[in-house]
Amino acid sequence: MQRRVTFDSRLLPYLLLAPQVAVTLVFFIWPAAQAIWQSVHLQDAFGIRSEFVWFENFTYVLSDPNYLDTLKTTVIFSVAVTVLAMGVALLLAVLADSKIKGARVYKTLLIWPYALAPAVAAVLWMFIFNPDIGSFGRALRAFGYDWDYRLNGGQALAMVILAASWKQVSYNFIFFLAGLQAIPRSVMEAASIDGAGPARRFWTITFPLLSPTTFFLLVVDMVYAFFETFGTIHALTQGGPGKATETLIFRVYQDGVVNNDLGGSSAQSVILMVIVIALTAVQFRFVERKVHYA
Amino acid sequence: MATVDIRNVRKSYGPVEAIKGIDIAIRDGEFLVLLGPSGCGKSTLLRMVAGLETITGGEVAIGGRVVNQLDPKDRDIAMVFQNYALYPHMTVFDNMAYGLKIRGLPKAEIRARVDKAAAILELGRFLDRRPSQLSGGQRQRVAMGRAIVREPAAFLFDEPLSNLDAKLRTQMRVEIKRLQDRLRITSLYVTHDQVEAMTLADRILVMNHGVAEQIGTPLEVYQRPASLFVAGFIGSPPMNVLDGRIDDRGEAVDLAGGIRLALPQPRLSDAGRAVKLGVRPEHLATADSGFAIEVELVEALGADTVVYGRLAGGESLLVRVAGLPTCRNGDRLTVAPPPDALHLFDAVTGRRLEG
Amino acid sequence: MTPSSSRSRLIDLVPHIVLIVGVLVFVYPIYVTLIGSTWDSGTIGRGGLPLWPSGEGPANYAQAWAGEAGDRAMYTPVRTMMLNSLVMALSIALGKIAISILSAYAVAFFRFPLRMAFFWLIFITLMLPVEVRIIPTYKVVADLGLIDTYAGLTIPLIASATATLLFRQFFLTIPDELLEAAKIDGAGPVRFFIDVVLPLSRTNIAALFVILFIYGWNQYLWPLLVTSSRDMETIVTGITKMIGTGESANDWHIIMATTVLAMLPPVAVVLLMQRWFVKGLVDSEK
Ligand SMILES: Nc1ncnc2c1ncn2[C@@H]1O[C@H](COP(=O)(O)OP(=O)(O)OP(=O)(O)O)[C@@H](O)[C@H]1O
Ligand SMILES: [Mg+2]
């Protein structure tokens, strides 16, 4: 954890830490503490007095069928995004890692979508799947399919899932490729000398050796789907139609900003914090193992 | 130019005492080698002189000035590290010049000093290169150049050659020797390589478990090892050590298997004492009486031959003779040392029995 | 040519086909947007977008870049939004790098009381992404009077445990002997930082810069909350405001030109600094 050799100075380390600690205290710890405080208090209509209510806000939130619907939507959305993004990325990475011509060009062409904002990805998808102006959207209707994600909840969910996964493929691709390149050639050569065919090599060697990367991406993609896709949903469907594409983070925004319900949205924020902390904890347990493994 | 005085210096890491009180006065221009096995505290002692490690007890004085409380930069020393510790992003020139720049020397003076050091070390062609573009030997020369340009009161070396391959190490050893003859700057040199110690040192300080086992010139250390530890550490192959007892008249040593070796002069005061008898392999030669061994292994090194023999009692005995092998496995030989090549150590304390 | 060898040729083609399909899926939407940005809004709105560009491009971009209004609504000009996004992305990237490298230096190169407490304080922010604490953070920023300011837009986002951890991890690989050599050369902690640590961190800084620039440029929820004035609009949130509910009667030509311009800086950064960026991304997540 610490170097053997260090500098001696009383004041300097504190000065060096001051900016980051100040920002952390003011914009991280203090708001988080407030969220926790508010989540166990109830404010009157004028925001003047507040009353300690134990876990009432939580019971209220968690027993709200709407909230549970949102939770269900979030889980479906996150699992779908994670599976799609990882599956496609793994396929492309395995192909781009093999010794084929033009591998570098493919890599470059597949890496850049990382740079796009989730909201911009959503806008691009809208340009194509919008039932009025999008080529695919119009084509679907021309074939007699009643396509309009602005009215049909299922289609809307499919749309945000596709747009969100589309944006995340490149990130997964980068990590899978790095993971694949870290597998020693000699291991693969030994396997082919042992007579294992390509498919067998993949399932018995490549995939297990990639498992640290896979696990890492699983967590990252879940966090992405939970939080960063706010832009995707906001730009594409505004959570609708109805509440068909409302995820937890979108709802925090709705309740806190649009509906101004501080206690409820704070309780939701605290629930989200618990989810992130759980995901991060899982990731760290695993990271430690990975350090061991490396 | 300065003396370095180490007075009863101790170092503790918590409850562990790494250096247990070492005293030595290093003369101006002297080349002192700290020699000992891994973990004996050589680096710790050197680093206390450098100011990189606090001193738990005792005093270090450089040029007569006690430096215990001074920062490394104020001690007027320069140090050469085992892994070179060159700044990877600086050119050779900048690596050597960095300390001078910090001290605010004028540019022309820096240029002159670096050029001079580069000439001595034949680094002139490499001044614009980065360390990564140099070989190990060249890097080590840059590290030495960085020390030389400082014109310090003392050089400190911590195993500077142990990252080099055998051939380069020999070559650099000779270079350091030449440099020392030319610059005559007081030096402390840490190594666990006895050849480096024997060839470079004016005096050697042999360390073991944080204490000085012996301080002396290379020849003293070889000819009159102060303890069994020193006897075993210096010399290759190592000294043979056998259990024995001085007879009641103090005239000879009795060994297992009825072997009896006469002492060069009688030691009446030690009569009847249990001893360890040391004999260097190179001092054994075939004789009519002495150690009867059966040859188990013969190593021909070209210039000389090492014979691994076994005594009747089961102890092994090494013999080194000049030239090519004259015996084979299974042969029986009798070898003996001249009387003045016997080393006697107390069987309990391991200290040398003088006399 | 034997039949079996021609079949194996076909099999060899499969990876290429899959990869080309993959690339097309990622390129096609961009292509459509690029083409769209060169046509008039009527053509796009009718859904009759051809696959080739038209000559309207320059006019569309000029209108988007400087114009206050499209044919149907008022907008913030792209140049204003680009400037805001640029300020936001640069402040976040450079601010994060600056405060993280300093705090990492303190944690890695000094021994001082409460060192681990500070380390954990920073570390904990890893678990609090801005989205999670968005409402209370908004309130703090409002109380400080920072709504609709660059400070409010950027400072709450510049504390980053990831960057600190990355630098700290790198600092731990700097050999002890280098530090000792510097001490003997007479360098104190400040000089050592400027003369040795900073130059050695160049690659890490470059890699982090790419990642953080993109992170900053792509911020969405936070700017949506803390900016309300049109002068403070950032380009990513600006686009979705232009689109509104996605009616077919929209200034699509301006929207598409704006989208192209919004993608340009981050994509350029990724493509130009690809090598550093990939290394930095993979390293920072280790
Ligand atoms: N920072 C420390 N904390 C605790 N013990 C230490 C520390 N540094 C050194 N030691 C102990 O002090 C003893 C001497 O260490 P030192 O590095 O001086 O050995 P050395 O003779 O230089 O060995 P080597 O030849 O392997 O370099 C060792 O037993 C070591 O474990
Ligand atoms: Mg050592």
Q: CA of C191: which chain B residue's CA is closest? A: B102
% pLDDT > 90, chain A: 16
Domain count for chain C, please give it: 2
- Please report, for chain A, the start and end positions of each structural domain, with discontinuous segments joined by +: 62-293
Q: Which residues of A touch C179 (CB under 8 A)?
A: 3, 5-7
Q: Could you say which of C46, C66, C86 is where a domain stops?
A: C66
Q: What is the mean pLDDT of chain A?
A: 82
> Which pLDDT belongs to residue C198?
94
Q: From CA C237, how far away is CA B4, in angstroms rounded?
A: 71
CB contact under 8 A, C32 and A135: yes
> Which pLDDT belongs to residue B32?
96
The interface predicted TM-score of the complex, written ipTM, equals 0.85
| H or E element at residue C279 | helix C274-284
> Which pLDDT belongs to residue C6?
61
Asked if C33 and C259 count as a contact pair (C-beta separation under 8 A), the reply is yes
Tell whether C31 and C97 lie within a shared domain: no
Q: CA of C212: which chain A residue's CA is closest? A: A115
Strand, coil or helix: what is B72?
helix
Tell whether C89 and C228 lie within a shared domain: yes
- C283 or C203, which is more confident: C203
State the average pLDDT over residues C145-163.
Answer: 88
Q: From CA A179, how far away is CA A294, in angstroms rounded?
A: 12
> Which pLDDT belongs to residue B1?
60
Tell whether C50 and C82 lie within a shared domain: no
Q: Which of A45-59, B21-35, C266-280 has the highest mean pLDDT?
A: B21-35
C26 domain residue, yes or no: yes
DSSP-assigned letter for residue C193: I
Full domain range(s) for residue C87: 78-284
Say which CATH topology domain A62-293 has. MetI-like fold (1.10.3720)
> Which pLDDT belongs to residue C53?
77
> Hey, of C184, C190, C192, C195, which one would you mutate to test binding to chain B, going by the most B CBs within 10 A of its CB?
C184
Tell whether C85 and C57 lie within a shared domain: no
> Which residues are paired to B78 by β-bridges?
B155
pLDDT tens for each residue of A250-281: 888 888 777 777 667 778 888 888 888 887 77
Tell whether C189 and C267 lie within a shared domain: yes
Cis bond upstream, residue A241 (ω within 30): yes
pLDDT tens for each residue of C22-76: 888 888 888 888 887 877 777 777 777 777 777 777 877 777 777 776 666 677 7
> Which pLDDT belongs to residue C286?
47
Q: Which residues of C touch A273 (CB under 8 A)?
A: 127-128, 132-133
Tell me the CATH number at C273: 1.10.3720.10
Q: Could you say which of C66, C97, C117 is where a domain stops?
A: C66
Cα separations in angstroms, A96 against A83, A101, B178, C19, C79: 20, 9, 58, 7, 38
- C222 or A144, which is more confident: C222
pTM for the predicted model, two decimal places = 0.84
Compute the distance from residue B10 Cα to the ligand 1 centre, in Å: 13
> Which pLDDT belongs to residue A292?
35
Q: Nearest Cβ partner of C181 from B71, B85, B89?
A: B85
Structure tokens given for B55: 């001193």
> Which pLDDT belongs to residue C14?
80
CB contact under 8 A, C200 and B89: yes
> Which pLDDT belongs to residue A37?
81
Q: Is the dihedral of CA B60, B64, B69, B75 positive or negative?
A: negative
CB contact under 8 A, B52 and C183: yes
The b/e string for B23-33 (b: 16+ C-beta within 10 A; e otherwise) is: ebebeeebbbb
Q: From CA B123, how far away is CA B215, in angstroms rounded?
A: 36
Tell whether C17 and C130 lie within a shared domain: no
Q: From CA A233, how far away is CA A245, in angstroms rounded?
A: 7
Task: Give yes or no for residue B132 CB within 6 A of ligand 1.
Answer: no
Please report how the helices C235-243 and C252-272 are oriented relative to each other, as an axis angle in degrees rounded to 10. 150
State the average pLDDT over residues A176-185.
Answer: 84
The answer to whether C181 faces chain B, any CB pair under 8 Å, is yes
Q: Is the dihedral of CA A49, A55, A61, A63 positive or negative?
A: negative
Task: Give yes or no for residue B39 CB within 6 A of ligand 1.
Answer: yes
C150 domain residue, yes or no: yes
Q: From CA B338, how far away is CA B180, in angstroms rounded?
A: 37
Ligand number nearest to the C-alpha of A4: 1
State the average pLDDT over residues A57-62.
Answer: 78
Task: Grade residue C90 by pLDDT with cuts at 50, 70 and 90.
Answer: very high
Compute the distance from residue B77 Cα to the ligand 2 centre, in Å: 18
Structure tokens given for A229: 């896709």
First-residue to last-residue Cα distance in chain C: 50
Return the ligand 1 atom nearest residue B14 CA: 4
Task: Grade residue A45 by pLDDT with cuts at 50, 70 and 90.
Answer: low
Chain A closest-CA separation from residue C95 CA (Å) = 10
Give the residue numbers in B contacting C (CB under 8 Å), as ranges.
Answer: 50-52, 71-73, 77-79, 81-83, 85-89, 98-99, 102-103, 146
Q: Nearest Cβ partner of C155 from A2, A4, A23?
A: A23
Compute the distance from residue B68 Cα to the ligand 1 centre, in Å: 20
To test the ligand 1 pocket, which listed residue (A2, A3, A4, A5) has its Cβ within 8 A of the most ligand atoms?
A4
Q: Which residues of C touch A101 (CB under 8 A)?
A: 16
Three-state SS string across chain A, please?
Answer: CCCCCCECCCCHHHHHHHHHHHHHHHHHHHHHHHHHHHHCEEECCCCCCEEECCCHHHHHHHHCHHHHHHHHHHHHHHHHHHHHHHHHHHHHHHHHHCCCCCHHHHHHHHHHHHHCCHHHHHHHHHHHHCCCCCHHHHHHHHCCCCCCCCCCHHHHHHHHHHHHHHHHHHHHHHHHHHHHHCCCHHHHHHHHHCCCCHHHHHHHHHHHHHHHHHHHHHHHHHHHHHHHCHHHHHHHCCCCCCCCCCCHHHHHHHHHHHCCCHHHHHHHHHHHHHHHHHHHHHHHHHHHHHHHHC
The answer to whether C186 faces chain B, any CB pair under 8 Å, is yes
C124 domain residue, yes or no: yes
Tell whether C106 and C245 lie within a shared domain: yes
State the average pLDDT over residues C74-95.
Answer: 89
CB contact under 8 A, B85 and C175: yes
Return the ligand 1 atom nearest residue B82 CA: 27
The answer to whether A35 faces chain C, any CB pair under 8 Å, is yes
Q: From CA C154, how far away is CA C87, in angstroms rounded?
A: 9
C71 domain residue, yes or no: no
Return the ligand 1 atom nearest residue B45 CA: 18
Q: CA of C201: which chain B residue's CA is closest? A: B89
Task: Give yes or no for residue B208 CB within 6 A of ligand 1.
Answer: no
Compute the distance from residue B232 Cα to the ligand 1 centre, in Å: 22
Q: Could you say which of C66, C90, C112 is where a domain stops?
A: C66
> Which pLDDT belongs to residue A290?
44
Q: Nearest Cβ partner of C200 from B51, B88, B99?
A: B88
- Does the pLDDT at position C208 exceed 80? yes
Strand, coil or helix: what is B76?
coil
> Which pLDDT belongs to residue B47?
94
pLDDT tens for each residue of A82-112: 999 999 999 999 888 877 777 778 888 888 8
C27 domain residue, yes or no: yes
How do the pLDDT tens digits run along chain B, 355 residues long? 689 999 999 999 989 999 999 999 999 999 999 999 999 999 999 999 999 999 999 999 999 999 999 999 899 999 999 888 999 999 999 999 999 999 999 999 999 999 999 998 889 899 999 999 998 889 999 999 999 999 999 999 999 998 888 888 898 899 899 989 888 999 999 998 999 999 999 999 999 999 999 999 999 999 999 999 999 999 888 999 999 999 888 888 988 888 888 888 888 888 888 999 999 999 998 888 888 999 999 999 888 999 999 988 888 999 999 888 888 898 898 999 988 889 999 999 999 987 6
Tell whether C160 and C190 lie within a shared domain: yes
Q: Nearest Cβ partner of C183 from B73, B87, B103?
A: B73
Chain B closest-CA separation from residue C200 CA (Å) = 7
The answer to whether C247 faces chain B, any CB pair under 8 Å, is no
C72 domain residue, yes or no: no
| H or E element at residue B336 | strand B332-336
Task: Grade residue A293 by pLDDT with cuts at 50, 70 and 90.
Answer: very low
Tell whether C198 and C245 lie within a shared domain: yes
Please report how the helices B107-121 and B166-183 are oriented relative to each other, as an axis angle in degrees rounded to 10. 130
Q: Which residues of B touch C196 (CB under 8 A)?
A: 87, 89
Neighbours of C145 (CB within 10 A): 10
Tell whether C21 and C159 lie within a shared domain: no
The answer to whether C15 faces chain B, any CB pair under 8 Å, is no
Q: From CA B139, how far away is CA A8, in angstroms rounded?
A: 29
Tell whether C122 and C209 lie within a shared domain: yes
Q: Which residues contact B114 (CB under 8 A, 6 or more apart)?
A: B93, B96, B97, B100, B127, B145, B149
